[in-house]
């Protein structure tokens, strides 16, 4: 296509021209630090979540390190209007995450406030979640949890403000006996997923929550 000739897709790391459906070249791909966590076993995400709420299983795809390629990839998705990054991250996840015979019942991503969606143009987690849903054949619900207040980007908040998440989210309908996989982009303090997890756990009887994040802030 003409646009591909005029504005070729380039590797996020080395700027080499690559295919339009890629983020990085083959050489730079090897510099991405995948976590290799076991979804069912103990890992750093599970250790932190257990201090905040009853969690079943946890997984993080990549490590979110300072000045790393992983950080560039997440920022490309969140702040540079490149929604397709969510699909690519989803494909990387399906290559590595095996639910075996214990798939969750429903996929739910952390919601954005409607004003934030209008500003950004999309929720950076939706395409990622939908990619996982199609591959694993697990339904998703983008409306089950809503964000009650508009706030500035998490990356711009100090630690104290990140802890102020009480009543930030609410569940829009009763949920009973569901194992919900809660999906977020970057796991830092865990307060966001904890706030939503408690809303889900208290929304009905016998609910369970697992957590999947694109990146673990190390």
- Per-residue b/e over 70-108, b at no fewer than 16 CB within 10 Å? bbbbbebbbeeebbebbebbbebbeeebeeeeeebebbb
Provide the domain count of the chain.
Answer: 1
pLDDT at 196: 97
Statement: residue 4 has pLDDT above 70? no
In sequence order, the β-bridge partners of residue 183 are 109, 212
Residue 16 counted as domain residue: no
Residue 30 counted as domain residue: yes
Residue 9 counted as domain residue: no
Structure letter (DSSP) for residue 156 = G
Give the span between the Cα atoms of 148 and 151, in whole angstroms: 10
Mean pLDDT of the chain: 90
Statement: residue 182 has pLDDT above 80? yes
Residue 6 counted as domain residue: no
Domain with 104 in it: 23-217
Residue 174 counted as domain residue: yes
Residue 12 counted as domain residue: no
Residue 134 counted as domain residue: yes
pLDDT tens string 60-106: 999 998 888 999 999 999 888 888 999 999 999 999 999 999 999 99
Residue 4 counted as domain residue: no
CATH of the domain at 73: 3.40.50
Give the span between the Cα atoms of 130 and 38, in whole angstroms: 22
pLDDT tens string 100-148: 999 999 999 999 998 988 888 889 999 999 999 999 999 999 999 999 9
């Amino acid at each position: 296509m003409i646009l591909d000739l005029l504005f070729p897709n380039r590797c996020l790391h080395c700027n080499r021209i690559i295919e339009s459906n890629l983020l990085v070249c083959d050489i730079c791909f090897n510099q991405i630090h995948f976590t290799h966590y076991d979804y069912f076993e103990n890992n750093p995400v599970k250790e932190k979540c257990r201090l905040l709420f009853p969690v079943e299983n946890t997984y993080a795809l990549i490590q979110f390190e300072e000045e790393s390629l992983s950080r560039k990839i997440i920022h490309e998705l969140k702040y540079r209007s490149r929604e397709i990054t969510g699909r690519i991250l989803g494909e990387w996840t399906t290559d590595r995450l095996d639910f075996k015979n214990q798939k969750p019942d429903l996929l739910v991503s952390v919601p954005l406030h409607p004003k934030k969606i209008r500003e950004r143009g999309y929720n950076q987690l939706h395409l990622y979640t939908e990619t996982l849903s199609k591959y694993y054949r697990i339904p998703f619900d983008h409306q089950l949890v809503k964000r009650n207040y508009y706030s500035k980007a998490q990356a711009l908040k100090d630690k104290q403000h990140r802890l102020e998440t009480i009543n930030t989210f609410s569940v829009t309908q009763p949920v009973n006996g569901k194992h919900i996989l809660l999906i977020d982009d970057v796991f830092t303090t865990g307060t966001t997923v904890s706030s939503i997890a408690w809303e889900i756990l208290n929304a009905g009887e016998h609910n369970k929550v697992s957590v999947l994040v694109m990146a673990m802030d190390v």
